[in-house]
Chain A
């Protein structure tokens, strides 16, 4: 697992402690299917933007629907 994916998972666990994610099988599943609702997604993306010092446009946010999409976006 890449450093980006590891950090991303840590951020998700911190913001949504009740969910379990297996990056090997859940990477392409929709965040909503993993139990991450729209408000949780806001928190996660804010934490990601703070961590990577970046800013997503509304169009980019709409496309960030899976863990793999997020990892790819962050490089």
Chain B
């Protein structure tokens, strides 16, 4: 249960805690500012085969690109 997985692995309805973001500093700072940072709880709302992942974080809905969602590492709740 304590496995760390990329956000792209989660299914709609699952919640997780952000652990790490593996990306350049531009990507990281953008994510922090939009509410995705280590320790924040996020919940997956929608996910499509080729499209982005729609998540809820800090009371806001965000759409995260497919490539980006693979770089956000989370721990399932």
- Chains A and B come from one and the same complex: no
* Residues of A that sit less than 8 Å from B by CB: none
* Residues of B that sit less than 8 Å from A by CB: none
